[in-house]
Amino acid sequence: MSGRVELRLVGSVDHLNLCWQVGEVLLASIPFGPDGDEVRHHVLLAVQEALTNVLRHAHRLDDRLPIDVTMVGGRSGFEIEIRDRGAPFDPRPLAVERAFEEALPAQEGGLGLSIVRWVMDEIDYERDGGCNVLRLTRHAAGAAVAEARG
C-alpha cells in the first residue's frame, strides 16, 4: 500500500496526535526489515520532535500560524515535508552525534534534532517564499540503504 496525505494544521487541534495517527497508517506497510516495528516507532518519534520544534520555536506556541504537513509512504520508504512560517532555521549544519544517548546535553532540551538525525536517512531544508521547508526521509530496508548507513 502507498499513500500521500496533506494536512494543514491550524488552531488548537492536537497536531502531534493527528500526525502520529496518520503516520502510523502510512508506515504500517513499509518494509523496514526485521526490526520494522521499532523503526516505525522511531520515525514517528522523529516526526513528533520536528513538529514540536516548529510549534515551540518557529511559531512560539502561536496556534494561529498554519503548519503544512505532507506525508508519503510506499514500498521505497517514508517522507514527510513540514512547512512553517517561522524565522529561518536550517537544521542541517548542526553537528549532532548519532549516538546521542552517550552525550546528553547538559541543558534542558536540544535532543529533538539529535533524534531526527539519528532516525532519518535524509534531512533536506530550504527557505521558500517566507517558509521553512523541512523534508525528512527514511528508506525502506534494502542493500543500498544498508550500505549507505555503514
Phi-psi region of 60 (alpha: psi -120 to 50; beta: other; left: phi over 0): left
Is residue 70 within 8 A of residue 9, CB to CB? The reply is no
Summarize pLDDT for 3-48 with one digit per residue, the tens: 999 999 998 778 899 999 999 999 999 999 999 999 999 999 999 9
Given pLDDT bands bounded at 50, 70 and 90, which one contains residue 109? low
Q: May I ask the CATH class of domain 3-149? A: alpha beta
CA distances from 36 to 20, 50, 84 (A): 16, 21, 30
Residues linked to residue 77 through DSSP beta bridges, in sequence order = 74, 139
CA distances from 68 to 5, 19, 102, 104, 113 (A): 11, 11, 34, 31, 19
CA distances from 101 to 46, 104, 105 (A): 15, 6, 10
More confident residue, 108 or 81: 81
Distance separating alpha carbons of residues 130 and 27, to the nearest angstrom: 30
Summarize pLDDT for 74-102 with one digit per residue, the tens: 999 999 999 999 988 888 776 444 444 44
The domain locations on the chain are 3-149
Residues linked to residue 6 through DSSP beta bridges, in sequence order = 70
What pLDDT sits at residue 112?
80
What is the pTM for the complete model shown? 0.83
